[in-house]
A and B are shown apart, each in its own frame.
Chain A
């Protein structure tokens, strides 16, 4: 049962990373234009500085 002492913090930490990543996507407006983004990824234009 001692393994719990590691497993619970680890699982919380991993879940926390997911939560933080989700916060980051909200903060950087990544849900503003879901339709446009799904098309942009297929665009053949090549540029060194992708549009933010």
Chain B
């Protein structure tokens, strides 16, 4: 049992450190489960391991000295990749409990509804006198306790709204259920003919079904978003008396010294104390050109160290770092978006007062006509039941569940409830360049223009280095079919380049200044052979797969596509030309991006922002809807409504079309429900609504709208 709870993350905050969690992205078969579990359990210090295939996670209970790194190696030895998950970022406990509670209520309502319906069938088919009364009493005995347990969420919400002097969807629902139960109980006590117990309980059942669907969609999105956040375990290597120690970033204080390895991301803001390297700042500024880093230079959290190891003195960590300050900005911008009222809320705004007025008018009218309070109340209850808000309560969640399920399969994660509706309204798309339409990895331009000898020497020099430009070069040369020349005495000079001896001549591959060439605006590396002029290799960012498809698809859907980037003008222009985007803005500061998005909004456009970096974050939050890739910075992912899980950006255009058809379905469902009401409400007001008619009208409209939702493509 304990292990079970741990597997769902419920125990994580009970037992001090909690179990270790690993994410296993490529596990999918029965054999994988036992292989991984056996491998983990054989690891010294591990008491138990359990794999959850649905969540693709392993939960490991182990002695405190077992490190996640060691477990990851164990799993790797068994043939699977694993990543550490920060269990404190996974807070599934509360949502789990809520979902379980809803499911329990749904089960009770379903059980009661079936039994009461069976009894009602007997009454409808002609049971009379004592038999009918007995059946009514049994129905009451089942329905009243069941409703008082199952319908509690509606009662609570209705009370919360009423005590603030407002009306919401749950007020008419609560009123309908209570009035139906009350009048039916009174009727039963007086041997009356009509009792609406079946209607009250099945109304509860249908609406709970909608609530549960809604909850599940949200819970899945939330747990996937949490998993993304949990994958980035905030660790840093702190230098204590010259020795490295792995600590949590939250424990770092200004003045601490940390070590950042090549390829590592800066966990904090700071000043370089020691070491020479290059920094990739593209996530923060959108510039693709690596920046030279030397002692004394300020660095901010989120930058990536490229070549040499750096020692950084912390100036601001955690809440004070630039990343977190940005998150505050996002929170401010988010409030504007929260003002968006969803279609369902807008419909409920019309529906709730309308229904109340209608049933009140019917009751008053009948009372004045017959002076019979019992009949008037009966009619009011019938009107409330027949105008069941099933289309609102069931159809909208059913459509959003179907749509977000579909998008999830395509690799998109919907984080916000109204995101689909907002996405459907979009008419302009603003793309960021670096990291969004490109992968942020360099690609050599025009390999064929260099002679084979140059390429061979470049390959020989670049093979030894792990710098992204070197790797791109050696890969490009290998694909060109050129064999690397052996270069001796290879030395990598961090921050500058690689140097070696080739046939007795000194050769260098590196920065412009180092080889004595003039710097250029484009990302480039230079090859210098002693006695020859330096040769330039220029790089462009590799285009993200599906970028062309996405831009084309969005154009076909009738959207205007813009490109705004923080990168240099020529680089952005060249890239935009490849994709055929005409409206381009380069060297944009974060403020420029927000200003442009706001200007477009002021002109009456609905903007979809697609971006990944810190410089896009404010624009993402300001736009009508926003998408960011999973590789984006945490702050950017938080600010956006939809996260692209895969590398391919192509599904964006599909997301727009899917959201449009989802909104069309929702509107269709409203029309269907309105049509039902147009037919049924006059019947109810005229006093012809028997419990059978009420049950039929309600079930029929609920089932039609649910089936219509499932037609979503």
Measuring CB to CB, which residues of chain A are less than 8 angstroms from any residue of chain B? 1, 4, 8, 11-12, 15-16, 18-19, 22-23, 26, 28-29, 32-36, 39-40, 42-43, 45, 51-52
Please measure, in the bound complex, the distance between the C-alpha atom of A5 and the C-alpha atom of B108, giving whole angstroms.
23
Instruction: Pick the residue among B54, B100, B107, B138 that contacts A34 (CB under 8 A).
Output: B54
Select A28's contact among B4, B107, B111, beta carbons within 8 Å: B4
> B240 contacts the other chain (Cβ, under 8 Å)?
no
Q: Which of B28-36, B192-200, B542-550 contacts A (4 or more CB under 8 A)?
A: B28-36
In the assembly, what is the distance between CA of A1 and CA of B129, in Å? 13
Q: Is the CB of A26 within 8 A of B138?
A: no
For B51, the chain A residues whose CB sits under 8 A away are: 36
**Do B30 and A42 have beta carbons less than 8 Å apart?**
yes
Bound-complex Cα distance A22 to B104 (A): 8
Contacts of A34 in B (CB 8 A): 54
Residues of B within 8 A of A16 (CB): 111
Q: What is the bound-complex CA distance between A26 and B103, given in angstroms?
A: 8
Picked from A23, A29, A36, A42, the residue with its CB within 8 Å of the CB of B53 is A36
Q: Assuming A15-B111, A19-B108, A36-B53, what are 11 further A-B pairs, CB within 8 angstroms?
A: A4-B134, A11-B115, A19-B111, A26-B104, A28-B1, A29-B4, A29-B8, A32-B4, A32-B8, A33-B52, A35-B53
Interface string of B27-56 (1 = CB under 8 A from A): 001110110000000000000001111110
A29-B8, A35-B53 known; A8-B138 Cβ under 8 A? yes
Shortest distance from the beta carbon of B219 to any chain A beta carbon, whole Å? 12
Residue ID in chain A nearest B30 by CB atoms: A39
C-alpha gap A36/B104 in the complex (Å): 23
For the complex of A and B, list the 4 residue pairs with the smallest distance between their C-beta atoms, beginning with the closest.
A36-B53, A39-B30, A35-B54, A33-B52
List, in ascending order, chain B residues with CB within 8 A of A40's CB.
Answer: 30, 33
Given contacts A15-B111, A23-B107, A33-B54, contact A1 B131 (CB under 8 A): yes
B7 at the interface (CB under 8 A from A): yes
Interface SS of chain B: helix
Residue-wise, chain B 1-23 has the 8 Å CB interface mask toward A (1 for contact) of: 10111011000000000000000
- B114 at interface (Cβ–Cβ under 8 A)? yes
Q: Which residues of B contact A11 (CB under 8 A)?
A: 115, 118
B265 CB, min distance to chain A CBs, angstroms:
33
A23 touches B54 (CB 8 A): no
Nearest-neighbour CB distance to chain A for B325, whole angstroms, equals 39
CB distance A33 to B138 under 8 Å? no
Q: Contact check, B3 vs A36: say whether CB atoms are below 8 A apart.
A: no
Q: How far, in angstroms, from A1 to B50 measured CA to CA in the complex?
A: 56
Shortest Cβ distance from A7 into chain B, in angstroms?
A: 11
Whether the Cβ atoms of B33 and A43 lie closer than 8 Å is: yes
Q: How distant is the Cα of A12 from the Cα of B53 in the complex, in angstroms?
A: 37
Nearest A residue to B101 via CB reads A26
Task: List, in ascending order, chain A residues with CB within 8 A of B107's CB.
Answer: 19, 22-23, 26
Nearest to A18 among chain B residues (CB) is B111
The docked-state distance in angstroms from the alpha carbon of A33 to that of B134 is: 45
A33 in contact with B115 (CB, 8 Å): no
Chain B residue nearest to A32 in the complex (CB): B8
Q: Do A36 and B115 touch across chains, with their CB atoms under 8 A apart?
A: no
Shortest Cβ distance from B7 into A: residue = A32
A26 and B96 CA atoms in complex are apart in Å by 11
Q: How far is the CA of A14 from the CA of B348 in the complex (A)?
A: 40
B residues near A51, Cβ cutoff 8 Å:
3, 50
Task: Report if A52-B3 is in contact (Cβ < 8 Å); known contacts: A12-B115, A32-B52.
Answer: yes
User: Given the complex, which residues of A lie within 8 Å of B108, measured CB to CB?
Assistant: 19
Q: Is B34 a contact of A43 with CB atoms below 8 Å?
A: yes
- Which B residue sits closest to A51, measured CB to CB? B50
| B7 neighbours in A (Cβ, 8 Å) | 29, 32-33
The reply to whether A36 and B5 contact each other, CB–CB distance below 8 Å, is: no
- Cα A35 to Cα B131 in complex, Å, equals 48
Residues of B near any A CB (own CB < 8 A): 1, 3-5, 7-8, 29-31, 33-34, 50-55, 100, 103-104, 107-108, 111, 114-115, 118-119, 131, 134, 138, 142
Contact check, A52 vs B1: say whether CB atoms are below 8 A apart: yes
Instruction: Give the CA-CA distance A51 to B5 in the complex, in Å.
Output: 13
User: In the bound complex, how far is the Cα of B8 from the Cα of A32, in angstroms?
Assistant: 7
Determine the distance from Cα of A25 to Cα of B138 in the docked complex, in whole angstroms.
Answer: 28
Question: With A and B bound together, what is the CA distance between A25 and B54 in angstroms?
Answer: 17
* Chain B positions within 8 Å of A19 at CB level: 107-108, 111
Q: Determine the chain A residues whose CB is within 8 A of the CB of B100 once the complex forms.
A: 26
> Whole-angstrom distance from the CB of A51 to the nearest CB of chain B?
7
22 residue pairs of the A-B complex, CB under 8 angstroms, read A19-B107, A23-B107, A26-B100, A26-B107, A28-B1, A28-B4, A32-B4, A32-B52, A33-B7, A33-B52, A33-B53, A33-B55, A35-B54, A36-B33, A36-B53, A39-B29, A39-B53, A40-B30, A43-B33, A51-B50, A52-B1, A52-B3
A32–B381 alpha-carbon span in the complex (Å): 41
Q: CB distance A39 to B115 under 8 Å?
A: no
**Is A52 a contact of B4 with CB atoms below 8 Å?**
yes
In Å, the complex CA distance between A52 and B53 comes to 15
**Residues in chain B near residue A12, CB distance under 8 A:** 115, 142
The interface residues of chain A lying within 8 Å CB-to-CB of B5 are: 29
The chain B residue sitting closest to A41, CB to CB, is B30
Report the bound CA distance from A41 to B81 in whole Å.
24
Q: Which chain B positions have C-beta within 8 A of A39?
A: 29-30, 33, 53
Bound CA span A26–B7, Å: 15
Q: Measured between alpha carbons, how far is A31 from B100 in the docked complex, in Å?
A: 10
User: A21 to B73, alpha carbons, bound, how many Å?
Assistant: 42
Q: How far is the CB of B460 from chain A (nearest CB, A)?
A: 50
Q: A28-B1, A33-B55 are in contact. Are A15 and B30 (CB under 8 A)?
A: no
Cβ contacts under 8 Å, B54 to chain A:
32-36
- Minimum CB–CB distance from B7 to chain A (whole Å) comes to 6
- A23: B residues at CB distance < 8 A: 104, 107
Query: Could you tell me the distance in whole angstroms from the C-beta of B108 to the nearest C-beta in chain A?
Result: 7
Q: What's the nearest-Cβ distance from chain B to residue A4, in Å?
A: 8
Inside 8 A of A22's CB, which chain B residues have their CB?
Answer: 107
For A30, the closest partner residue in chain B by CB is B4
A52 to B440, CA, bound (A): 45
Chain B residues near A1 (CB-CB < 8 A): 131
Q: In the bound complex, what is the Cα–Cα distance between A28 and B119 (angstroms)?
A: 33
Report Cα–Cα, A11/B107, bound state, in Å: 17
Residue of A whose beta carbon sits closest to that of B29: A39
Give min CB distance, B479 to chain A, whole Å: 40
Residue of A nearest to B106 (CB): A22
- Roughly how many angstroms separate A4 CA and B31 CA in the complex, as a whole number? 53
Say yes or no: A45-B34 contact (C-beta < 8 A), given A18-B111, A34-B54.
Answer: yes
Q: Which residues of A contact B114 (CB under 8 A)?
A: 15
